């Protein structure tokens, strides 16, 4: 195996026609290079998406009212309706699988004009009414102060929590915003906190560009009555959120005289199903990556097998002399297969190394770029695991053995007498 003369002979055989050997090796190099790059790119896309929603409650769903799609109980199709605060208590009493429920209301941006004033500074921001439980579904990092609490809801306090971009635009750097007042749509609110979102999921506008009021305060101040625009719901651990979703939908439809079969009246998004679809998509991408990569690699291996057949043909007389001098079939087979394994391994390892190097370079470039304000990053940490590297190297060795097996059999078929007579 480690006979120096044998390896010198292998080197001489492959170097005899450098161009042919290099072109053949390039097929193996390109196959493993593309396999590593595609696997790393797939992981980079997966990491970017998963990191953006990693802390979001995956066992959650959202609901909102829409026009009815069917006539029911004397009401015409296309009726406008709204959920209300009384729905919340009824749902809490009748859906034991429910963990959290958080209503949410939305204000307007006054047709795109400024709706928030602080001194000489103004801005147009999303205004949202929230419950304390909402951060258990879509978490925020508290930069200053605190989030809305139960007393804010109960007493309908005129307080607000602002996103980090609102703070940057309305306050001076390092200025303490707590206790300061903002005039929002004509009403003054005291700032009690500044938040930064931990996910990239945006509901009716980016959280960092939003102002959050206590839900009950928003209802009262802006004459919304007991109207609810939006519901966020999570299921208890071990319970599929679709079970809770179906029960809540049935309750809301019954309370608001909506046909049980009306799929249009109540819009919803099941986050659990969305995550399952994303997971399935990445599995499919991974399988496709390996199919394309291994297919490309096999094309290179076939090229190696072909060049080995040519080498065996060119060395017919040499092999015949070896057989005549007593070389065993095992010696001939080992020599041919080692040449094949050497060619595929060197070419493949080079492709593997350059592929990993390219991924590391791309990762360094991405990490060196400052995060653009308000921009989601959907590609992060392109990398391949040690498992992929080991599997790739195993495939290389097996591919080399496969590429050399056919030429080795061809070499064994050469009869010493016929080989010595061949010109």
What are 111's two structure tokens?
């047709």
Query: Are residues 130 and 236 located together in one domain of the fold?
Result: yes
- 286 and 175 in a single domain? The answer is no
Domain boundary among the residues 219, 235, 270 is at 270
Asked whether residue 287 falls in the same domain as residue 309, the answer is yes
64 with 51, same domain: the answer is no
What pLDDT is stored for residue 294 in this prediction? 75
Look at strands 210-214 and 126-130 and give their pairing: parallel
pLDDT at 101: 92
Same domain, 242 and 288: no
The structural domain count of the chain equals 2
Give the number of other Cβ atoms within 10 Å of residue 342's Cβ.
17
Residues 91 and 35 in one domain: no
3: pLDDT strictly greater than 70: no
pLDDT over threshold 60, residue 1: no
pLDDT in tens, 299-317: 777 776 766 666 666 565 5
pLDDT higher than 80, residue 181: yes
Encode pLDDT of 71-111 as tens digits: 988 889 999 999 999 999 899 999 999 999 999 999 865 45
Same domain, 287 and 325: yes
Give residue 329's domain range: 4-55+276-421
End of a domain among 239, 270, 301? 270
The reply to whether 213 and 231 lie within a common domain is yes
Of 270, 300, 333, the domain-final residue: 270
Per residue in 108-131, pLDDT (tens digit) is 654 566 889 998 899 999 999 999
Q: How many CB atoms lie within 10 A of CB 224?
A: 19
Same domain, 67 and 202: yes
pLDDT at 52: 60
**What is the Cα gyration radius of the chain?**
34
Burial 395-410 (b: 16+ CB within 10 A, else e): bbeebbbbbbbbbbeb
Distances in Å between the Cα of 174 and the Cα atoms of 9, 167, 170, 171 are 73, 10, 12, 8
Rounded Cα distance, 402 and 149, in Å: 68
Indicate the average pLDDT of the chain.
80
Q: Give the three-class secondary structure for 373.
A: coil
pLDDT tens per residue across span 231-240: 999 999 889 9
The pLDDT assigned to 6 comes to 59
Across-strand partners of 2?
Answer: none
Does one domain contain both 197 and 299?
no
Q: Specify the pLDDT at position 415.
A: 59
Detail the DSSP E strand segments found in 215-277. 227-228, 230-235, 266-270
Q: Which two tokens stand for residue 168?
A: 């940057």
Predicted TM-score (pTM) of this structure: 0.69
User: What pLDDT is stored for residue 154 in this prediction?
Assistant: 94
Does 323 share its domain with 401? Answer: yes
Residue pair 211/127 in contact (Cβ under 8 Å)? The answer is: yes
The rounded distance, in Å, linking the Cα atoms of 244 and 228 is 19
Both 216 and 287 in one domain: the answer is no
Give pLDDT tens digits for 333-388. Answer: 666 677 777 777 788 888 888 888 888 888 888 777 765 544 555 667 777 777 77
């Amino acid at each position: 195996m480690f006979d120096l003369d044998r390896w010198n002979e292998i080197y001489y055989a492959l170097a005899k026609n450098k161009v042919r050997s290099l072109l053949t090796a390039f097929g193996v190099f390109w196959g493993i290079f593309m396999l590593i790059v595609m696997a790393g790119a797939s992981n980079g896309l997966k990491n970017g998406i998963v990191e953006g929603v990693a802390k979001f409650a995956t066992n959650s769903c959202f609901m909102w009212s829409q026009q009815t799609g069917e006539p029911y109980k004397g009401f015409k199709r296309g009726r406008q309706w709204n959920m209300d605060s009384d729905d919340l208590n009824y749902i809490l009493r009748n859906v034991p699988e429910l963990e959290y429920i958080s209503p949410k209301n939305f204000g307007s941006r006054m047709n795109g004009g400024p709706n928030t004033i602080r001194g000489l500074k103004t801005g147009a921001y999303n205004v949202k009414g929230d419950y304390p439980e909402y951060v258990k579904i879509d978490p925020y990092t508290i930069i200053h102060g605190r989030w809305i609490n139960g007393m804010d809801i109960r007493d309908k306090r005129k307080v607000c929590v602002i996103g980090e971009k609102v703070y940057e635009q309305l306050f001076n750097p390092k200025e303490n915003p707590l206790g300061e007042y903002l005039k929002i749509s004509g009403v003054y609110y005291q700032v009690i906190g500044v938040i930064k979102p931990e996910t990239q999921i945006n509901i009716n506008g980016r959280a960092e560009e939003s102002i959050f009021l206590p839900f009950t305060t928003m209802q009262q101040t802006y004459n919304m009555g007991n109207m609810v625009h939006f519901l966020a719901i999570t299921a208890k651990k071990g319970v599929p959120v679709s079970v809770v979703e179906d029960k809540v939908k049935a309750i809301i439809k019954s309370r608001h005289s909506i046909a049980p079969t009306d799929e249009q009246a109540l819009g919803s998004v099941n986050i659990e199903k969305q995550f399952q679809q994303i997971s399935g998509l990445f599995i499919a991408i991974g399988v496709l990556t390996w199919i394309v990569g291994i297919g490309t690699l096999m094309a290179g291996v076939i090229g190696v097998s072909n060049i080995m057949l040519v080498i065996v043909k060119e060395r017919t007389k040499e092999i015949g002399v070896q057989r005549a001098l007593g070389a065993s079939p095992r010696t001939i087979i080992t020599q041919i297969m080692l040449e094949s394994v050497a060619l595929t391994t060197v070419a493949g390892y080079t492709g593997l190394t350059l592929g990993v190097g390219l991924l590391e370079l791309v990762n360094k470039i991405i990490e060196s770029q400052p995060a653009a304000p308000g921009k989601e990053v959907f590609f992060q940490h392109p990398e391949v695991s040690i498992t992929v590297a080991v599997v790739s190297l195993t495939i290389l060795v097996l591919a080399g053995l496969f590429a050399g097996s056919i030429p080795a059999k061809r070499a064994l078929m050469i009869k010493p007498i016929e080989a010595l007579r061949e010109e």
